[in-house]
């Protein structure tokens, strides 16, 4: 599964056709025998929406030896936590070459295998590593909330085949299927509302996890703060840091880019970070 962090993978001044060819050539270099690819984006759209054109073009530009799918997060509404990953599958129209994309209209739960973390080195690598750790910490925080909600539901509702009332005082909602209360908890912002948990193992595990996550957040913050001391805009120290960053982007194969170093999106993010301390 190839995941894009931005909704438009072809947003560039370079021709879309060339970008599509470059993408598939790059993918096939480390995976020459790949047969199926799911293009996935961590952006949400309303359930029943149409397939975005750029992803359709990218998928249809794949080599004939590869079967390509497209996946998005689908929401019931923009104000709910009920979402599922939908898979779009291509079918060839009878008697023609044109592909027709159909939403399979069922939740898709892929098995995700994370590749080993790249080797971070040099000034550019330090910035990339800081972004990686910042993103990882956010994901761990969100995962901890999700696990906590499901663990709470499992404790208060041990018999999923029977209806259970909401354990929050004053809430009259009833739940008859596993996972319903976890969604309800998120929608009602019930984080921490239940207070102390009657299970001692439960009480001990999640606070310990929260402490570890806080320590990790503090370490990430300290590292970002130290990078902020590279100098104010216009200073010699700031200029040296920028030149070292650009030099690595020009000469290090692991950090080169199609565009000149000062025109790529990572340079803009680096400038934003040095100027405002914002990691994007």
Along the 280 residues of the chain, how does pLDDT read in single tens digits?
554 444 455 554 458 888 899 899 989 988 899 999 988 877 677 666 677 788 888 998 999 899 898 888 777 665 556 677 888 888 777 666 677 888 876 667 777 777 777 789 998 898 888 888 888 888 888 888 888 888 888 888 888 788 888 888 888 899 988 888 888 888 887 776 665 555 667 777 777 888 888 898 888 888 877 777 666 777 888 888 889 999 999 999 888 877 888 888 888 888 887 776 656 5
Q: Is the pTM of this model over 0.85?
A: no
Q: What pLDDT is attached to residue 278?
A: 59
In 12-170, the DSSP E strands lie at: 36-46, 67-75, 83-92, 99-107, 164-165
Question: CA torsion angle for 150, 156, 160, 166 (degrees, to 10)?
Answer: -90
Record the tokens describing residue 38, joined without a space: 């799911």
Burial of 39 (0-12, 13-18, 19+ CB in 10 A): buried
Report pLDDT for 254: 84
- For residue 93, give the DSSP letter: P
Residue pair 47/76 in contact (Cβ under 8 Å)? The answer is yes
Per-residue pLDDT at 66: 92
Can you give 100-121 as a three-state secondary structure string?
A: EEEEEEEECCCCCCCCCCCCCC
Report the pLDDT value the prediction gives residue 154, as an integer from 0 to 100.
85
Q: Output the pLDDT for position 25.
A: 92
Place of tokens 């990430």: 220
- Work out the burial of residue 7: count CB atoms within 10 Å of its CB; fewer than 13 is exposed, 13-18 middle, 19 or more buried: middle
């Amino acid at each position: 599964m190839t995941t894009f962090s931005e909704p438009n993978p072809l947003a560039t001044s370079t021709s879309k056709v060339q970008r599509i060819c470059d993408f598939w050539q790059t993918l096939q270099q480390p995976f020459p025998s790949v047969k199926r690819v799911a293009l996935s984006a961590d952006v949400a759209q309303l359930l029943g929406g149409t397939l975005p054109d750029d992803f359709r073009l990218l998928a249809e530009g794949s080599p004939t030896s590869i079967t390509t799918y497209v996946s998005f997060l689908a929401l019931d509404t923009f104000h709910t936590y009920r979402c599922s990953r939908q898979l779009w599958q291509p079918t060839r129209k009878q008697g023609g070459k044109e592909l027709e994309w159909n939403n399979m209209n069922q939740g898709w739960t892929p098995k995700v295998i994370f590749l080993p973390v790249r080797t971070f080195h040099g000034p550019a690598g330090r910035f990339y590593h800081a972004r990686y750790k910042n993103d990882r910490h956010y994901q761990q925080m969100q995962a901890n909330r999700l696990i906590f909600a499901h663990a709470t539901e499992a404790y208060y509702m041990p018999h999923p085949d029977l209806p259970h009332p909401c354990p929050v005082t004053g809430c009259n909602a009833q739940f008859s299927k596993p996972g319903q209360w976890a969604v309800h908890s998120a929608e009602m912002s019930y984080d921490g509302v239940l207070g102390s948990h009657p299970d001692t193992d439960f009480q001990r595990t999640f606070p310990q996890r929260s402490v570890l996550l806080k320590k990790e957040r503090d370490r990430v913050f300290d590292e970002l703060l130290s990078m902020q001391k590279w100098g104010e805009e216009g200073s010699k120290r700031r200029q040296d840091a920028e030149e070292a960053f650009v030099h690595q982007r020009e000469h290090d194969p692991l950090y080169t880019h199609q565009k000149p170093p000062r025109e790529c999106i990572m340079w803009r993010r680096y400038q934003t970070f040095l100027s405002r301390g914002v990691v994007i």
